[in-house]
Chains A and B, each alone.
Chain A
């Protein structure tokens, strides 16, 4: 005899979209199971080590596509464990963007103003704090000084880091050993567990089907905890409500694979993918000029040579986040750190005459690594990413035991996207090459295509059924009871780091999900406080809740 496992709410993925939903549904009284394909790592599991098999590869996912590679988290807590914790809100104009569809991309119900209370909830829950200049790393300070020298402004980034614990080790991408990063492992996820939610690591969801009584059945494989290429079993769980939050590189793939059992998917599933217009530049600083032109000194005889030191991005220049500029000309320029391996191979030799990303000159560039400054551009792309037919399992054919796989995303940048990148490149050059401060080159797109750590929009909200897979409450069109709350729901590039907006949109989706669960007979209510019990965020959003219940 086989017994079928049942729950009220099944959440796929434990990053921002998954953890926020799991917390609120569990706190409201629903039975919640979270399936997460990656391992469950905490504190001492986070290594300072580039060796394959350390947390740097265990918790990380790198999916190579055709024209676009996607980097993301692969662990309980998802991207929040490996991310850089820069948490700005998206500028007002972003919500008015038209992008490639000739009309507003965001649902009419969502604007910066209507999202503000949900941002506040996230800020309280995580918490996100404003940073002072004393929190800014050498690299961030250098970027600020260069911006200032070029007549630009620069801002310390709001962040989800507890600076009192931070060692500025720059190992954030391997998970934070010092518990300084306020990942979801410290707020929404423990909140969900305290209310009885179950989180199952190493469970990779493959597809969804229907049960005879009208519920959904989720089909998963169990993944080996060291070699992710090996499957260690499989199973199913039935649920009344499904919340997909596998990330914008994986959620649409699960839905595409489910088309055979669930029926036709909305046209926009697996289309309109955005890489958040992301692009990187590497500058190699002239240390003498840093001292002479910018007047910077570390006090130990060095002017800079501090690429290795810090906590990811700490300062951004927002001069081009100007809503009066034409679309595709607006972007932010953010100082960043990317560790060796991923952060070095794509860097090109400035002014290369021979090969730009390997060879003799590249080796010389690597020798000056301490004087590197990486600038991260977030521009407006054209939502041109499209997913091809899904691979056999997961969202990629895995190559390495961990981290590296080949997926089905195709991304062929349009003239608009290319123009935005070119303008951003020119701006970085103008700022950093002034007075011989540095030499700058963009990372190559010829090796693994463009690349993003900010996948978005592959299953997005909107008002127009042809160009959005979800209605304005994050429910999948034509498949009631399936909701998407991760980055794939965000309609397009944000020109800033996206996690704050992903999380706010997830918070906003919760009242509607609770309502749908109630309608299916689940005993659940909406209105949990912040995971630590704080209530001002809840109060601030209360007036908006009724507007999210109707359909």
Chain B
């Protein structure tokens, strides 16, 4: 059976562990992998894809 609902889990590109969301993430959302603590960025919502988030730059902050 096909479903229109989005897949809410994917794989961490760093450790290969599962990354799951309990709700639909926003594009650009940053999450921390529970397995390896890598910072991951949602680069696509459908299909759900995450990549390593870019490094913090010098002028980033509050």
Note whether A and B form a binding pair: no
| B contact set with A: CB distance below 8 Å | none
| A contact set with B: CB distance below 8 Å | none
